[in-house]
Structure 1
Amino acid sequence: MELIEFITQKVNFTEQECQEINEAFHTETYNKGALLIKSGSYSDRIFFIEQGLVRIFYYKEDKDITQFFSDQGTFTASLSSFTDGKPEPYGWEVLEPTTVRVIAYKDLQNLFTRIPMLQQVFLYVCFDLINMFSLKLESIQFQTAEQRYTAMMETYPGILLRVPLGHIASYLGITQQTLSVIRGRR
């Protein structure tokens, strides 16, 4: 999904505003395996994933743990960097050829001044992110592994064809063996 298509689903903008927004975001492409953001680095950029898939992960005791996936048609950003000035604790790995639209936080703030209705789009994006974090926390606290798997399949349809099973298992907080058992029951 393209950036302008996404934002105009949320708010009506004039043609001129769409053009200005489109020009403010530049395009970057990444190959599978590239790091969009390195753990421990700073990033003041907001990404819209037009095509592809990004995995947000961390290391715990030398083990690679998947925290989230950011699929096409979504915004994502290192909140700890541009809001708190802290290094990003997660790595952001591109899992397939990916095209993103990118804007620096300060440039987005300037765009908000010129096109105030754009703030409404980002309010929707923030609500979606809060909901995503809430659902992930709820799933860890209250759902069985099989329920987490079912919820993941609803949130990320087709993910089994796009992501190594080890990443899926770590996202669910289970072993690959448990994931195989769950998949075998279906």
Structure 2
Amino acid sequence: MTTTSIDIVRQMAVDHRVTLAKESSHALADTLLFKKYKKGERILDEGEICTCIRYIEKGLLRQFYFKYGKDMTEHIAYEKGEVMCLESYFRQEPTRLMIEALEPSVVWEIDKASFDQLSMERADIGVLYRKILETSLIESQIKADTLRFEPAHERYNKLLQIHPEILKRAPLIYIASLLQMTPETLSRVRSASVNG
């Protein structure tokens, strides 16, 4: 059975515990854009503007950047996750972050201008929009706090607890980068976790 844009809007509402009126669901669904990406395909490049929120129906996406010539993973998301480059999205300025598909992925794009407009016209869409942005900001804060305050094994265990899918599906080099540790440290932490 093929998933429709209205199915996606309903799923997003469920994910964020928001009740949408039928008309609002249809109005938002009409703005969604369906995209498919191959494994390794670049979805957003450095210097481009993030003009939409991407909702993942199927697949695994990675946000990353380069620092001193090194590839650094900022975020990994999978089914029912939303991906956006926050600063670029809000300011509509070029981003330093890039997005790529780590698996063949099916993504629905919600254009910022349409989402802004609909959220002003319809209070229930405004609530959904706010919840999506809140979720993204909270995830960023949790990640920043984890990196600041927790040792390697606690960072790994938190990822295992909150996002086990990432540990099952993402390449180890990207998981290590996401947790800001070397692949060697990640290997040690993983074996200690399995044996502990």
Q: Tell me, yes or no, whether TM beats 0.5.
A: yes
1:3-37 Cα deviation digits (max 9, x unpaired): 32221452222333222221211211111111111
2:13 to 7, 16, 34: 7
Aligned equivalents of 2:138 and 2:85: distance in 1? 17
1:57-80 Cα deviation digits (max 9, x unpaired): 111111111011122212222222
**Counterpart position of 1:89:** 96
The answer to which of 12-21 and 158-167 deviates more is 12-21
**Counterpart position of 1:23:** 30
Judge conservation of contact 2:31–2:111 (CA < 8 Å) in 1: no
Indicate the SS of the match to 2:47.
coil
1:76-120 Cα deviation digits (max 9, x unpaired): 222222322321111111111111111221111222233221111
Normalised to the residue count of structure 2, the TM-score between the two structures is 0.87
Aligned equivalents of 1:55 and 1:113: distance in 2? 31
List alignment gaps of at least 5 residues for structure 1. Answer: none
1:101 equivalent to 2:108? Answer yes
Are residues 135 and 8 of structure 1, via their aligned partners in 2, closer, same or farther at CA, if it must alter by over 3 Å?
A: closer
Indicate the SS of the match to 1:158.
helix
Deviation beyond 4 Å, 4+ runs, structure 1: none
Judge conservation of contact 2:76–2:166 (CA < 8 Å) in 1: no
Normalised to the residue count of structure 1, the TM-score between the two structures is 0.92
Judge conservation of contact 2:65–2:97 (CA < 8 Å) in 1: yes
Aligned equivalents of 1:150 and 1:82: distance in 2? 31
- Root-mean-square deviation (Å): 1.7
Judge conservation of contact 2:24–2:125 (CA < 8 Å) in 1: no
**Counterpart position of 2:55:** 48
2:184 to 151, 173, 177: 177
Structure 2 residue identity aligned to 1:4: R
How far apart are residue 150 of structure 1 and its match?
0.5
Indicate the SS of the match to 1:117.
helix
**Counterpart position of 1:147:** 154
**Counterpart position of 2:133:** 126
1:156 equivalent to 2:163? Answer yes
Are residues 67 and 52 of structure 1, via their aligned partners in 2, closer, same or farther at CA, if it must alter by over 3 Å?
A: same
Are residues 158 and 48 of structure 1, via their aligned partners in 2, closer, same or farther at CA, if it must alter by over 3 Å?
A: closer
List alignment gaps of at least 5 residues for structure 2. Answer: 1-6
Indicate the SS of the match to 1:58.
strand
The answer to which of 14-23 and 147-156 deviates more is 14-23
Aligned equivalents of 1:135 and 1:100: distance in 2? 25
Judge conservation of contact 1:3–1:50 (CA < 8 Å) in 2: no
